[in-house]
Amino acid sequence: MKPCRIGIIGAGRIGKLHAENIYYRLSQFMLAGIADPCVDREWAQSLSIPLITTQHEELIHHPAIDAILIASPSAFHTNQIIAASQANKAVFCEKPLGLTEEAIQACLTVVEQQQTLLQIGFNRRFDPNFASIHRRVQLGEIGHPHLVHITSRDPTWPSMDYIKTSGGIFMDMTIHDFDMARFLIGSDVVEVFASGSVLIHPDFAECNDSDTAVIQLRFKNGALGVIDNSRQAVYGYDQRVEVFGHQGYLLAKNQTQHAVHYFGRHETRYANPLYFFLERYQEAYLAELESFYQAWLHHQPSPVTGNDGLQALRIAMAAKQSLQTGKAICL
């Protein structure tokens, strides 16, 4: 098996997750380097990473590195993709692809010119349950899809420092759901209407953000969608998907801490959902990198393209505009 020598830009929570997955569970990769201005050298050394640096350019221009995994703050993504693409590296980039449509379009122009393999980290596509729904919708099991309903609620809200730079709930949280809606229905979104409130913590209002939201979608093929979000579900990480069609519907329920149900005289009990995304999407994080490796090895098209990243951002921006204006926004 030909190893893919990969360097990771960004050693925060998601960068460390990918690094540890590669080191412990994805032997088809060789973890060649990691770059972060505040890199934890002791942690990096525990993974036997040969190149530990504060300068991401060292990874991008290193002749012995085949691919770059970008897990840096969102504002840096497009410029780092461009640099890696021009250095003839394959690129895996965490969401969002960028923060403006103009920056993304410029980035994708370079990617196309360089014929770069670029995969966007919409890991939920690779969750076994959601992937099964997608496949079965494509096979026509429920006929023509009419409705998609996505529930996505975090167990606790993020720090205000994060909120100040994340781009808001639609950019840092719902963007996964926007991509999932397109993925499951198999059609682009043409209209967005969003409602939002501050019901959990008043600091969200100070950051001009919402902590609770409902978004309605209209797809090019006529299907409709509803997404509901909350920054705080006290019972755990609430992740459910339903796709309804004229011949039936498909439903993916929550992954729970265990599968044992208690039935008694006066009550029935069962486990709460898994606590957060690291536990809930563990298989998906591995599967998306396996898919990236196969595309790199066999020179295949990206399973999650730059256009997928662009469309998710366009929906997120339209949702923000809808929230501000109180009107439906056409894409």
Instruction: Count the residues in the chain.
Output: 331
**Mean pLDDT of the residues in the chain:** 96
b/e map of 30-68 (b: 16 or more CB within 10 Å)? bbbbbbbeebeeeebeeeebebbbeebeebbebeebbbb
CA distance 202 to 34: 37
What DSSP designation does 183 have?
Answer: H
What the block records as the tokens of 194 is 């969003």
Q: Give the chain's domain count.
A: 2
pLDDT tens per residue, range 12-42? 999 999 999 999 999 999 999 999 999 999 9
- Is residue 316 situated within a structural domain? yes
Task: Give this prediction's pTM.
Answer: 0.94
pLDDT tens per residue, range 66-124? 999 999 999 999 999 999 999 999 999 999 999 999 999 999 999 999 999 999 999 99
HEC per residue, 47-80: CCCCEEECCHHHHHCCCCCCEEEECCCHHHHHHH
Residue 194: CB atoms within 10 A of its CB come to: 29
Pick the last residue of a domain from 53, 81, 116: 116
- Is residue 307 situated within a structural domain? no
CA distance 247 to 231: 34
Q: Crossing angle of helices 128-138/174-185, nearest 10°?
A: 30
CA distance 118 to 295: 10
CA distance 98 to 211: 22
Q: Are residues 73 and 169 in the same domain?
A: no
Q: Could you give phi then psi for residue 185, rounded to 5 degrees?
A: -80, -30
Pick the last residue of a domain from 74, 92, 116: 116
Q: Are residues 168 and 241 in the same domain?
A: yes
% of the chain exceeding 90 in pLDDT: 90
Q: Are residues 271 and 138 in the same domain?
A: yes
Q: Are residues 85 and 58 in the same domain?
A: yes
pLDDT for residue 207 is more than 90? no
Domain holding 80: CATH number? 3.40.50.720
Q: How many CA atoms lie within 13 A of 163 on its CB side?
A: 18
Q: Are residues 198 and 162 in the same domain?
A: yes
105-112, long-range: CB < 8 A, 24+ apart: 105/310, 106/78, 106/82, 107/78, 107/81, 107/82, 107/306, 108/306, 108/307, 108/310, 110/81, 110/82, 110/85, 110/86, 111/81, 111/85, 111/306
165 lies in which domain range? 125-283+312-330
Residue 283: CB atoms within 10 A of its CB come to: 15
As a whole number of angstroms, the longest Cα–Cα distance in the chain is 68
Q: Which residues, including other chains, have CB under 8 Å from residue 95's CB and lie 6 or more apart?
A: 120, 121, 122, 175, 176, 179, 309, 312
CA geometry: angle at 311 spanning 179 and 287, to 5°?
40
CA distance 280 to 72: 22
pLDDT tens per residue, range 119-147? 999 999 999 999 999 999 999 999 999 99
pLDDT tens per residue, range 241-296? 999 999 999 999 999 998 898 999 999 998 999 888 888 999 999 999 999 999 99
Domain holding 236: CATH number? 3.30.360.10
Q: Are residues 165 and 274 in the same domain?
A: yes
CA distance 173 to 215: 13
Q: Could you give phi then psi for residue 329, rounded to 5 degrees?
A: -115, 130
Q: Are residues 320 and 195 in the same domain?
A: yes
Pick the last residue of a domain from 116, 141, 160: 116
